[in-house]
Amino acid sequence: MSKIIITAALTGSRIMRDKAPYIPITAEEITRSAVEAWKAGAAVAHIHVRDPETGLGTQDLDQYKRVVEPLREQTDLVLCLTTSGIPGRNLPIDERLAPLQLRPELASFDAGSINLGSGVFANPIDFLQEAAVRMREYQVKPELEVFDLGMIMTCKKLRQDGFLHDPLHFQFVLGTPWGAPATAKAYLHFLDHLPDQATWSTIGIGRGSLPMTTLSMITGGHIRVGMEDNLYLRRGVLAGSNADLVAQVRAIVEAYGNQAASPDEAREMLGIR
């Protein structure tokens, strides 16, 4: 029996209610959704917050406090705050890294630049180096989000240069229109290039969600689900909540004879404080 860490990615920065009628937008909705996901079996909450006027992602520290503080009071979730801002808008470094001031246990670390339609989600080396330095200062473990193989190689180079430190934790992102596809071949190619001691979790975007997360589980990894990545329980059936998506994969985890890790078990497995 293995313990599998389930991460719930609650909202992202762009998806609106016209496409996702049940997605949480306000700080109160995001908080409530995280609590529900925790009760359903999530050990980690991956958190973006939204501007209350536009509904789009923001790195505003007050909005993060309105989510982080009640979650610390009501749950023992491992909190992973994003440093991506709104991908493609490429916010200034200080703005992107502002949530680190709240000292989450994890923070996302987008490990390279990637095309997003007609724009570019820019994560140049100077940003990655600064993010790594500040995460270490705040005692935050980087969650290394990788969309293609080159980003894994970038993380290994940053480790070699002393910016990242073992044990590394990767988040494979498979199935975006501009990155690696959500296929077994792409997943195994990523896996072949991980450094020793590394842990990993896998995201499958859209219809790739269940195939990729199941493959991750049966090969020794962990899983991430949530409305940031996928809106459907199955073809044509929208998830009513992030908890629905967590419960679905928890059932798969248990069907394989495994168990969903508790937040404290996740902390031990990831080597975080």
pLDDT in tens, 107-142: 999 999 999 878 899 999 999 999 999 999 999 999
Question: Is residue 273 predicted with pLDDT exceeding 80?
Answer: no
What is the rounded average pLDDT of the residues 228-234? 97
Q: Considering the chain, what is the average pLDDT of its residues?
A: 96
| 239: its two tokens | 């998830």
Q: How confident is the model at residue 86 (pLDDT cuts 50, 70, 90)?
A: confident
Residue 62, burial from CB neighbour count under 10 angstroms (0-12, 13-18, 19+): exposed
pLDDT at 88 over 80: no
pLDDT at residue 229, rounded to an integer? 97
- Look at residue 73 in the predicted model and tell me its pLDDT: 98
The model carries a pTM of 0.97
pLDDT in tens, 22-50: 999 999 999 999 999 999 999 999 999 99
Angle between helices 242-255 and 209-218 (to 10 degrees): 40
Average pLDDT estimate for 174-194: 97
Predicted confidence at residue 26, as pLDDT, reads 97
Q: What is the mean pLDDT of residues 233-260?
A: 97
pLDDT band at 87; cut points 50, 70, 90: confident
Q: Which are the contacts of 26, defined by CB distance < 8 A and separation ≥ 6?
A: 50, 52
Domains, the chain, ordered by start: 3-270 (3.20.20.70)
Mean pLDDT in residue range 73-85: 97
Burial (0-12, 13-18, 19+ Cβ within 10 Å), 265: middle
